[in-house]
Amino acid sequence: MEDRARKVAAPEVRHISEIRPAQRQPPPQRVTTQIDLAELARLTAASAQPEIAEGPSVELSLDHVPRLRVSRQVLLRTELDRREAFLISLIDDVSTVGMIVEVAGMAEELTLATLHQLYVQGIIDLL
Pairwise CA distance, residues 13 & 23, whole Å: 21
Q: Which residues pair with 26 in a beta bridge?
A: none
Note the pLDDT tens digit of each residue in 61-108.
889 999 999 988 888 888 999 999 999 999 999 999 999 999 999 999
Q: Which residues pair with 67 in a beta bridge?
A: 125
Note the pLDDT tens digit of each residue in 29-49.
766 666 667 776 676 666 655
Q: What is the DSSP letter of 71?
A: -
pTM comes to: 0.56
